[in-house]
Protein backbone atom coordinates (compact mmCIF):
# COMPACT_ATOMS: atom_id res chain seq x y z
CA UNK A 1 0.00 0.00 0.00
CA UNK A 2 2.80 2.40 0.96
CA UNK A 3 4.72 1.72 -2.27
CA UNK A 4 1.57 2.22 -4.35
CA UNK A 5 0.80 5.49 -2.57
CA UNK A 6 4.31 6.77 -3.18
CA UNK A 7 3.95 5.81 -6.84
CA UNK A 8 0.75 7.86 -7.05
CA UNK A 9 2.46 10.84 -5.43
CA UNK A 10 5.40 10.48 -7.80
CA UNK A 11 3.09 10.38 -10.82
CA UNK A 12 1.31 13.56 -9.67
CA UNK A 13 4.61 15.44 -9.39
CA UNK A 14 5.94 14.12 -12.71
CA UNK A 15 2.72 15.29 -14.34
CA UNK A 16 2.96 18.75 -12.83
CA UNK A 17 6.67 19.27 -13.39
CA UNK A 18 6.77 17.62 -16.82
CA UNK A 19 9.97 15.84 -15.88
CA UNK A 20 10.87 12.51 -14.31
CA UNK A 21 14.24 13.79 -13.13
CA UNK A 22 12.80 16.95 -11.55
CA UNK A 23 10.10 14.99 -9.74
CA UNK A 24 12.67 12.44 -8.63
CA UNK A 25 14.98 15.11 -7.22
CA UNK A 26 12.07 16.72 -5.38
CA UNK A 27 11.01 13.43 -3.80
CA UNK A 28 14.49 11.98 -3.32
CA UNK A 29 14.09 9.24 -5.94
CA UNK A 30 16.75 8.45 -8.59
CA UNK A 31 15.54 9.03 -12.15
CA UNK A 32 15.90 5.36 -13.09
CA UNK A 33 13.83 4.34 -10.07
CA UNK A 34 11.22 6.98 -10.86
CA UNK A 35 10.94 5.68 -14.44
CA UNK A 36 10.49 2.09 -13.26
CA UNK A 37 7.92 3.16 -10.67
CA UNK A 38 5.81 5.00 -13.24
CA UNK A 39 6.03 2.09 -15.65
CA UNK A 40 4.87 -0.30 -12.93
CA UNK A 41 1.98 2.04 -12.07
CA UNK A 42 0.89 2.12 -15.70
CA UNK A 43 0.97 -1.70 -15.83
CA UNK A 44 -1.11 -1.94 -12.66
CA UNK A 45 -3.68 0.51 -13.99
CA UNK A 46 -3.65 -0.94 -17.49
CA UNK A 47 -3.28 2.38 -19.28
CA UNK A 48 -0.54 4.68 -20.55
CA UNK A 49 -0.52 7.79 -18.36
CA UNK A 50 2.49 9.68 -19.70
CA UNK A 51 4.08 10.29 -23.07
CA UNK A 52 7.86 10.46 -22.81
CA UNK A 53 10.11 12.26 -25.28
CA UNK A 54 13.72 13.38 -25.07
CA UNK A 55 12.53 16.90 -24.22
CA UNK A 56 9.52 16.50 -21.94
CA UNK A 57 7.02 14.24 -20.28
CA UNK A 58 3.37 15.00 -21.05
CA UNK A 59 0.05 13.54 -19.98
CA UNK A 60 -1.98 11.25 -22.18
CA UNK A 61 -5.75 11.77 -22.17
CA UNK A 62 -6.06 8.91 -19.71
CA UNK A 63 -3.29 10.42 -17.59
CA UNK A 64 -4.98 13.84 -17.49
CA UNK A 65 -8.25 12.28 -16.36
CA UNK A 66 -6.45 10.15 -13.78
CA UNK A 67 -4.56 13.16 -12.41
CA UNK A 68 -7.74 15.23 -12.08
CA UNK A 69 -9.32 12.48 -9.98
CA UNK A 70 -6.15 11.66 -8.05
CA UNK A 71 -5.07 15.07 -6.76
CA UNK A 72 -8.15 15.74 -4.57
CA UNK A 73 -7.65 12.28 -3.03
CA UNK A 74 -3.98 13.01 -2.29
CA UNK A 75 -4.94 16.37 -0.78
CA UNK A 76 -7.56 14.72 1.46
CA UNK A 77 -5.06 12.07 2.50
CA UNK A 78 -2.47 14.71 3.35
CA UNK A 79 -5.05 16.52 5.47
CA UNK A 80 -5.97 13.29 7.26
CA UNK A 81 -2.31 12.52 7.98
CA UNK A 82 -1.78 16.04 9.28
CA UNK A 83 -4.80 15.77 11.57
CA UNK A 84 -3.53 12.44 12.93
CA UNK A 85 -0.09 13.90 13.66
CA UNK A 86 -1.48 17.01 15.29
CA UNK A 87 -1.32 20.56 13.98
CA UNK A 88 2.19 21.44 15.10
CA UNK A 89 4.12 20.13 12.09
CA UNK A 90 3.51 20.75 8.40
CA UNK A 91 4.92 18.40 5.77
CA UNK A 92 4.73 17.84 2.04
CA UNK A 93 4.77 20.36 -0.79
CA UNK A 94 2.87 23.64 -0.81
CA UNK A 95 2.38 25.23 -4.26
CA UNK A 96 1.68 28.95 -4.07
CA UNK A 97 0.67 30.88 -7.19
CA UNK A 98 1.56 34.56 -7.12
CA UNK A 99 2.37 37.38 -9.54
CA UNK A 100 6.05 38.22 -9.96
CA UNK A 101 5.88 41.66 -8.38
CA UNK A 102 3.75 40.53 -5.47
CA UNK A 103 6.02 37.56 -4.88
CA UNK A 104 9.27 39.55 -5.01
CA UNK A 105 8.14 42.68 -3.20
CA UNK A 106 5.49 41.43 -0.77
CA UNK A 107 5.60 37.69 -0.13
CA UNK A 108 9.29 36.74 -0.17
CA UNK A 109 10.46 39.49 2.25
CA UNK A 110 7.97 38.20 4.85
CA UNK A 111 8.22 34.46 4.19
CA UNK A 112 11.30 33.50 6.24
CA UNK A 113 9.60 33.23 9.67
CA UNK A 114 6.99 30.87 8.19
CA UNK A 115 9.67 28.76 6.47
CA UNK A 116 11.75 28.59 9.68
CA UNK A 117 8.66 27.55 11.65
CA UNK A 118 7.96 24.57 9.36
CA UNK A 119 11.29 22.96 8.35
CA UNK A 120 9.64 19.79 6.98
CA UNK A 121 7.49 21.75 4.53
CA UNK A 122 8.62 22.40 0.93
CA UNK A 123 7.24 25.58 -0.65
CA UNK A 124 7.04 25.98 -4.40
CA UNK A 125 6.54 29.67 -5.14
CA UNK A 126 5.09 29.80 -8.67
CA UNK A 127 5.93 33.34 -9.83
CA UNK A 128 3.89 34.15 -12.91
CA UNK A 129 2.25 37.37 -14.06
CA UNK A 130 -0.41 35.33 -15.86
CA UNK A 131 -3.12 34.08 -13.52
CA UNK A 132 -2.63 30.39 -12.93
CA UNK A 133 -5.32 27.80 -13.46
CA UNK A 134 -5.61 26.50 -9.91
CA UNK A 135 -6.72 23.04 -10.97
CA UNK A 136 -4.73 22.73 -14.18
CA UNK A 137 -1.47 24.03 -12.65
CA UNK A 138 -1.87 22.18 -9.36
CA UNK A 139 -1.88 25.38 -7.26
CA UNK A 140 -2.78 24.91 -3.60
CA UNK A 141 -3.38 28.61 -2.95
CA UNK A 142 -3.04 31.70 -5.14
CA UNK A 143 -2.52 35.28 -3.98
CA UNK A 144 -4.31 37.86 -6.09
CA UNK A 145 -4.94 41.60 -6.09
CA UNK A 146 -8.19 43.29 -6.99
CA UNK A 147 -11.55 41.90 -8.01
CA UNK A 148 -11.95 38.17 -8.36
CA UNK A 149 -13.65 36.83 -11.45
CA UNK A 150 -13.05 33.08 -11.06
CA UNK A 151 -16.39 31.58 -10.03
CA UNK A 152 -14.82 28.13 -9.56
CA UNK A 153 -12.76 29.29 -6.60
CA UNK A 154 -13.27 30.39 -3.02
CA UNK A 155 -11.35 33.29 -1.52
CA UNK A 156 -10.29 34.82 1.77
CA UNK A 157 -9.42 38.50 1.96
CA UNK A 158 -6.00 38.96 3.55
CA UNK A 159 -5.82 42.73 3.72
CA UNK A 160 -6.81 45.99 2.06
CA UNK A 161 -4.34 48.72 1.07
CA UNK A 162 -4.99 52.32 -0.05
CA UNK A 163 -4.08 53.25 -3.62
CA UNK A 164 -1.65 56.15 -3.79
CA UNK A 165 0.26 58.20 -6.35
CA UNK A 166 4.02 58.41 -5.96
CA UNK A 167 7.07 59.85 -7.70
CA UNK A 168 10.80 60.12 -7.13
CA UNK A 169 12.24 63.27 -5.50
CA UNK A 170 14.35 63.82 -8.65
CA UNK A 171 11.22 63.97 -10.80
CA UNK A 172 9.34 66.28 -8.44
CA UNK A 173 12.29 68.68 -8.21
CA UNK A 174 11.79 69.86 -11.78
CA UNK A 175 8.17 68.89 -12.46
CA UNK A 176 5.26 71.34 -12.79
CA UNK A 177 3.17 72.20 -9.75
CA UNK A 178 0.92 69.39 -8.51
CA UNK A 179 -1.80 70.62 -6.16
CA UNK A 180 -4.95 69.03 -7.61
CA UNK A 181 -5.81 66.00 -9.75
CA UNK A 182 -6.27 67.98 -12.98
CA UNK A 183 -2.62 69.10 -12.69
CA UNK A 184 -1.66 65.56 -13.73
CA UNK A 185 -2.42 66.51 -17.32
CA UNK A 186 0.85 68.47 -17.40
CA UNK A 187 2.87 65.62 -15.86
CA UNK A 188 4.59 62.49 -17.06
CA UNK A 189 2.44 59.61 -15.83
CA UNK A 190 3.60 56.00 -15.92
CA UNK A 191 0.75 53.68 -16.88
CA UNK A 192 1.19 50.31 -15.22
CA UNK A 193 -0.91 47.13 -15.41
CA UNK A 194 -4.13 49.08 -14.88
CA UNK A 195 -3.76 50.58 -18.37
CA UNK A 196 -4.96 53.95 -19.65
CA UNK A 197 -8.18 54.98 -17.94
CA UNK A 198 -10.00 57.65 -16.03
CA UNK A 199 -8.58 57.98 -12.54
CA UNK A 200 -11.20 58.96 -9.96
CA UNK A 201 -10.18 61.15 -7.03
CA UNK A 202 -12.50 61.59 -4.02
CA UNK A 203 -12.45 64.38 -1.48
CA UNK A 204 -15.10 65.95 0.72
CA UNK A 205 -17.90 63.98 -0.90
CA UNK A 206 -16.94 65.13 -4.42
CA UNK A 207 -15.30 63.16 -7.21
CA UNK A 208 -12.83 64.47 -9.77
CA UNK A 209 -12.11 62.30 -12.82
CA UNK A 210 -8.93 62.73 -14.85
CA UNK A 211 -8.24 60.94 -18.12
CA UNK A 212 -4.76 59.44 -17.96
CA UNK A 213 -2.99 58.58 -21.19
CA UNK A 214 0.55 58.15 -19.91
CA UNK A 215 3.81 58.87 -21.71
CA UNK A 216 5.29 55.56 -20.57
CA UNK A 217 3.36 52.28 -20.52
CA UNK A 218 4.77 49.29 -18.64
CA UNK A 219 2.36 46.37 -18.19
CA UNK A 220 4.56 44.75 -15.52
CA UNK A 221 3.97 46.57 -12.25
CA UNK A 222 7.49 45.97 -10.97
CA UNK A 223 8.80 47.75 -14.07
CA UNK A 224 6.38 50.66 -13.63
CA UNK A 225 7.53 51.09 -10.03
CA UNK A 226 11.20 50.95 -11.08
CA UNK A 227 10.57 53.60 -13.74
CA UNK A 228 9.00 55.89 -11.15
CA UNK A 229 11.94 55.33 -8.80
CA UNK A 230 14.27 56.30 -11.66
CA UNK A 231 12.56 59.68 -11.91
CA UNK A 232 10.54 59.03 -15.07
CA UNK A 233 7.16 60.12 -13.75
CA UNK A 234 4.22 59.51 -11.43
CA UNK A 235 2.88 56.00 -10.82
CA UNK A 236 -0.26 54.64 -9.19
CA UNK A 237 0.62 52.02 -6.59
CA UNK A 238 -0.57 50.76 -3.21
CA UNK A 239 0.90 51.31 0.22
CA UNK A 240 1.65 47.60 0.51
CA UNK A 241 3.29 47.09 -2.88
CA UNK A 242 5.53 50.16 -2.53
CA UNK A 243 6.11 50.07 1.22
CA UNK A 244 9.89 49.88 0.96
CA UNK A 245 10.20 52.72 -1.57
CA UNK A 246 7.87 54.98 0.41
CA UNK A 247 9.65 54.20 3.65
CA UNK A 248 13.18 54.90 2.41
CA UNK A 249 12.21 57.97 0.39
CA UNK A 250 12.88 56.47 -3.04
CA UNK A 251 9.29 57.46 -3.80
CA UNK A 252 7.20 60.24 -2.28
CA UNK A 253 3.42 60.28 -2.15
CA UNK A 254 1.73 63.07 -4.08
CA UNK A 255 -1.86 64.31 -3.90
CA UNK A 256 -2.09 62.26 -0.72
CA UNK A 257 -5.01 64.30 0.60
CA UNK A 258 -7.16 62.77 -2.15
CA UNK A 259 -8.74 59.31 -1.90
CA UNK A 260 -7.96 56.95 -4.80
CA UNK A 261 -9.78 53.98 -3.33
CA UNK A 262 -8.32 50.73 -2.11
CA UNK A 263 -7.07 47.40 -3.45
CA UNK A 264 -7.76 44.04 -1.82
CA UNK A 265 -5.36 41.13 -1.52
CA UNK A 266 -7.04 37.71 -1.55
CA UNK A 267 -5.96 34.15 -1.01
CA UNK A 268 -7.78 31.95 -3.53
CA UNK A 269 -8.51 28.23 -3.23
CA UNK A 270 -10.16 25.77 -5.58
CA UNK A 271 -13.85 25.51 -4.79
CA UNK A 272 -15.13 22.14 -3.63
CA UNK A 273 -11.74 20.93 -2.44
CA UNK A 274 -10.51 21.03 1.14
CA UNK A 275 -7.57 23.41 1.45
CA UNK A 276 -4.29 21.86 2.49
CA UNK A 277 -3.38 22.46 6.14
CA UNK A 278 -0.17 24.11 4.94
CA UNK A 279 -2.15 26.45 2.68
CA UNK A 280 -4.44 27.45 5.54
CA UNK A 281 -1.44 28.01 7.80
CA UNK A 282 0.32 30.21 5.23
CA UNK A 283 -2.81 32.27 4.67
CA UNK A 284 -3.26 32.81 8.41
CA UNK A 285 0.38 33.85 8.72
CA UNK A 286 0.28 36.27 5.79
CA UNK A 287 -3.01 37.77 6.96
CA UNK A 288 -1.29 38.81 10.16
CA UNK A 289 2.09 39.72 8.66
CA UNK A 290 0.74 41.95 5.88
CA UNK A 291 -2.08 43.74 7.70
CA UNK A 292 0.04 46.64 8.91
CA UNK A 293 1.85 47.34 5.62
Whether residue 167 is found in the same domain as residue 253:
yes
In a domain, 120, yes or no: no
CATH of the domain at 189: 3.40.190.290
In a domain, 17, yes or no: yes
DSSP state of 106: I
- Number of domains comprising the chain: 2
208 half-sphere exposure, CB direction, 13 A CA radius? 14
Q: Cβ of 115: how many Cβ atoms within 10 Å?
A: 12
The 10s digit of each residue's pLDDT in 99-155 is 887 888 889 988 999 999 999 888 989 887 777 677 667 788 999 887 776 555 688
Domain that holds residue 230: 160-264
In a domain, 181, yes or no: yes
State how far the Cα of 197 lies from the Cα of 213, in Å rounded to an integer.
7
**Listed residues 31, 51, 86: the one ending a domain:** 86
Q: Which residues pair with 234 in a beta bridge?
A: 189
pTM over 0.85: no
Whether residue 253 is found in the same domain as residue 166:
yes
Whether the per-residue pLDDT at 98 is higher than 70: the answer is yes
* pLDDT the model gives residue 1: 45
User: 30-37 long-range contacts, Cβ below 8 Å, gap at least 24?
Assistant: 34/10, 37/6, 37/7, 37/10
In a domain, 228, yes or no: yes
In a domain, 152, yes or no: no
**Listed residues 32, 55, 86: the one ending a domain:** 86
Q: Of 213, 223, 217, 263, nearest to 240 (Cα)?
A: 263
In a domain, 111, yes or no: no
Sort 114 into a burial class: Cβ within 10 Å, 0-12 / 13-18 / 19+.
buried
The 10s digit of each residue's pLDDT in 218-263 is 887 888 999 999 999 999 999 988 888 999 999 999 999 999 999 8
State how far the Cα of 42 lies from the Cα of 151, in Å rounded to an integer.
35
In a domain, 241, yes or no: yes
Whether residue 253 is found in the same domain as residue 167:
yes
CATH of the domain at 64: 1.10.10.10
In a domain, 7, yes or no: yes
The 10s digit of each residue's pLDDT in 31-43 is 889 889 999 999 9
**Listed residues 86, 108, 125: the one ending a domain:** 86
Whether residue 170 is found in the same domain as residue 254:
yes
Amino acid sequence: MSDHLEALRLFARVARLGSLSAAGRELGVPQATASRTIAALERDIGASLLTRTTRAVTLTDAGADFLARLEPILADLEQAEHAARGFGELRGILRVGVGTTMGVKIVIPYLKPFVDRHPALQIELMLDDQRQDLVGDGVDVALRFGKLADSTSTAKKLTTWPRVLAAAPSYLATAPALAKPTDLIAHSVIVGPQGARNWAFHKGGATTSVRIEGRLRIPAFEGALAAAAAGMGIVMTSTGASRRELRDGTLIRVLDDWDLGTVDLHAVFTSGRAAKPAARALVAYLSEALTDL
